[in-house]
Structures are given as C-alpha cells and as structure tokens.
Structure 1
C-alpha cells in the first residue's frame, strides 16, 4: 500500500496516462474511415428502390401488369421474422418513429424492425439478466423487494436506451448538416444562376459538399433521386425536410415549393435563404462563445488555479521549509 502512495509511483502512473492519452489523440483521427463511398452506395440502393416503387405505382395506375420491380426480394432476417410472428410491427411503427429513424440515417424497413425488436425484447432481457445477477451473483444485503425494484429500474433503462441512442445519432447528424447547409446553398445558388436545373444543381452540390458533410451529401443525393422519379416535386422537398428535421432546411424547401408554384425566380429565393442561414449559423456561434466563460469558471478553479499556485508558490515554499 505504501508503494502505491509513493510520489514516484504516482508520478509514473500520471505520466503513463498522459502518454497514452496523447498517443490516442493523435492516432484516432488517422484511424477514422472515409464513410463517403459507403454512404453513397447505400444512397444508390435507396435510389433504385425509389425508381422501382414509382414504376410499380405507374404500372398499377395505367392498368398494366407487364412492368415488374427489378429489385430482388431479400430473405427476411431473424429479427424481422420474430417481429412479424408476434405481430409487433405496428407497436412503434408510427410516423414520428419513422421520421426519428430517418433523421438518424436509418431508412429501410429492417432498421424499423430492429428498433421495434430492441424496444420490446431489450427490457425483457434486461429484467431477466438483472434478476439473475441480483439474486444469484451479487451478494447484496437487501430485501427481495428491493432487488426486484432495482431489476425493474434496469429494465426501464433498457427500454429507453434505443431512444437515447437514436437521439444521439440524430443530434450528431443534424449538427453536421446544419454546419454545411449555408455553404451548400451558396453552391446551389451558383449552379442555378449558371443555368442548371434544380436536379442538376442539387446533384452537383452533393458531389462537392461530401468533403464537408457526408450526411448532407447523402440527403441531397436522395433529393435528386426523388425529384427525378416522384410525380410531385413538392413531396421530394417535404421528404427532405422530414429527414433532416432542421428549420433552416424546412424554410428553404418551403421557398422552393412556393417559387415553383408561383413562378418566382429561384435564384432570388435561394440568395435570401442563404443569407438567413449564414446569419443564423453566426448567431449560434456567438451564443456558444458567450456561454463559454461561465462554463470555464469551475474548471479554472479546480484545475488551472491550483497548478498556477503550485508553480508560483512552490519554489518559495520549498526554500522556506528547507531553512
């Protein structure tokens, strides 16, 4: 015990932790994978699904049956089979849940089934594991009622764990899209003023904005696909608003819908919305900067000031006690 409290041992441990943290801070950015190619591949699959679905609807509307969907039906996964077997498909499959999944980047039916299965099976598995641990493994001096209560609390946490995970992914995705959205509007304005159509403009912006935000490039590519295949362009713009969940994107899409409905110049509407989004981004940055000093007060008192006192008063204290 005295060896662990030795000043040299503590200094060595702190130095080792600092070295490991420094190595990880340098190595982790180098180990990050480029997700652009994988995301674009998923977008291409989603684009083919949109094309096949719209072709099937068109064939049904005209009364023909010769048009077939070109996509092969994949076999159902185990999770989807369990969900269908116990009729759990409509348990959490409302519109709000689907929009929440889309905002987190999950669009397929398999993602919805996995989320439903996790919210139903997760609490049951968590309750059983907690009961087994509390009654057979953990040696707690607690009455059985208290152990059961703790197990139900853990099951309740397992019930909300998928929601928290989904919210975390959605917030990160919104932050990435919101950061690159004003730049994307500037690029789209240049494309529109050069004579491009909306589809070509969004396609060009998606190819250029991928280095800044992979999520925004993915959404704009899906928007281009929906503008090409959907019967009403308004639906494509509204779908982008629902997938992102951002007021800035929703305002731009509303302006595009009104511009196409009333025949107003598209470049003027985009220029105004680009200025508004850039002003909103600057206001958000200023708000974070203004909130920084109060947040730094406690870390400065706990960490910075003691270190300054040690550096300034340390030599004087050592010379005083040496005498």
Structure 2
C-alpha cells in the first residue's frame, strides 16, 4: 500500500476544513432564517440608521462567531460591508450577520489548513499561514463585491425596458406609483426588486421622492441615478412624467447600444492572450515538430 504523501494530506485537510466550514455556515444561515420576523422586514425597507454605532450594537448577538467578528471588524469596515451588501440587494441584519460569520469561518478554516500543512516553525511557514488565514477571511468580501457588480450590470441592462413599461403605463392613464407596481410585477431581477422596495417604503409612509433617492443611493448605477434625478426634477417643475419617461427611454437605449459596441470592440483584446497561450503553441508543434525531428535525426 502506497504511503500518503504530504501533498495528498494537505489536500484532504483542506477539503475536510472546507466541508466543515460550509456545513456550519449553512446550519447557521438556516437557523438565522427561521428567526427572521418583522424586524428584518422593517430594516430592509426603512432608511438605514444614521448612527453606525447604533447599528453595530444592534448586530451584537450571543454566538461565538458574532463576538469574534464584532471584535475584529471596526466601525468603518462594518459600514463598508453594509454598503457592499446593499449593492447586492441585501441590507437586512441577517445578511450582514451571515457575511460576518462566513468571514470568521473562512479565517478559521484558512488558519487550520495553514497550520496543518504549511507551518513548520520557520518565519516562512508563519508568513504563509498568516497569509492563508487572511485570504480565507477576505474571500467573502470578494464574492460579495462580485455579486454586487453583476447585479449592477443586470440593473443597467434591464433599466431601459423598465422605463419603456413605465412610459406605456403612464400614457395609459396610470399614476407613476401604479406604473412602478406594474413594472415590479411584469419584470424580474434587480429592477423589479428595487421598484418593489420603493413601493414598500411608500407604504410605510416615506414620500415617493425620498424613496426614489434612497433607491439611487443604494445602487452603484449612474443610469439609475440620472433617471431618479430627472424624475425628481420633473416633479418639482411640474413637467408631465410621460414626456420625461419617453426621453429617458430613448437615452437609456442609446447608452445600452453604446455599451454593447464597446464590449464588442474589447473582444479581440481579451481573446489575444488565450490564443497566444493555448492555440499558437499547438500550431508551432504541428508545423515545426517534424522539421525539428528531421534535423535531430540528421545530426
């Protein structure tokens, strides 16, 4: 029977730690989801608290992972984490606590894996172990940022269609609020979620203009910010919403067409490196291989 190599042992240790971490995170998430009530609903659709320390104290819980996370994460970092979560469409307390727990679990899994496989008592081993632990702690941040970026791209792509539907509904005689409700019912994705959130904020008593401005503030989308600014300006000046929506729809479609052309122009540059690394070596082998073999035999 073959002996277990250090590489195989390290790989099995990493797999075991990853499975244990995922199981613990899943169990914590399911238990937390069962405890979500009206507090999270109000938190998701009401304006966020102005005092970050008050929000941070509201997140403190009795679990060990929460205590570790709150002791490691400072106030500015907490604010940045909440902003990243808001960009993904999740700004309730449960999502924040889940992210903090995943960060702590990632750091613990990275530390266990590094100590079991890399730490040998030297400075190099200690440095690699610390680096792996920090990487495990920061991986949830990267995943959250990536999710927010994809959501912003999906929102920009669907916004012209949403404005078209808004324009049709307003021209048919519906109010702007009723038109937004129709859009949230017809469409799916980030635009529908944001319009639904605006509707719920207005149902809780927040003015329409303030709700729209909150929607623009929590999404990293210049197109959405411009749309909200135009609607707010039209409401202040008394301009008909239908005319504004028609102009906004045409402008958004032109921007989407320009982005598509820009993406198409970037394709040759993006495929250049894969072609050079994967395709050209094979061609060189096929073309020059027989010649090299013939020369080597002649020598």
TM-score, normalised by the number of residues in structure 2: 0.67
Q: 2:130 is matched with which residue?
A: 152
Structure with max Cα Rg: 1
Aligned partner of 1:49 among 28, 34, 41: 41
State whether structure 2 residue 111 is matched by structure 1 residue 117.
no
State whether structure 2 residue 144 is matched by structure 1 residue 166.
yes
Structure 2 residue runs without a partner (length 5+): 1-36, 47-57, 289-299
Distance 1:305 1:126 in 2: 38
> How far 1:278 moved relative to its partner?
1.3
Q: 1:154 to 1:254 in 2, by over 3 A?
A: same
State whether structure 2 residue 82 is matched by structure 1 residue 98.
yes
SS of the equivalent of 1:88 reads: helix
The answer (yes or no) to whether the contact 1:79–1:113 under 8 Å persists in 2 is no
Distance 1:112 1:221 in 2: 21
Q: Tell me the C-alpha RMSD between the 2 structures.
A: 3.7
> How far 1:86 moved relative to its partner?
6.1
The answer (yes or no) to whether the contact 1:131–1:151 under 8 Å persists in 2 is yes
The 5 A counterparts of 1:1-323 are 49-50=41-42, 81-82=63-64, 88=70, 91=74, 94-120=78-104, 122-135=106-119, 144-210=122-188, 214-301=189-276
Q: 1:65 is matched with which residue?
A: none
SS of the equivalent of 1:244 reads: coil
Distance 1:189 1:287 in 2: 28
Structure 1 residue runs without a partner (length 5+): 1-44, 55-75, 136-141, 314-323
Q: 1:245 to 1:200 in 2, by over 3 A?
A: same
TM-score, normalised by the number of residues in structure 1: 0.63
Aligned length: 240
Q: 1:299 to 1:265 in 2, by over 3 A?
A: same
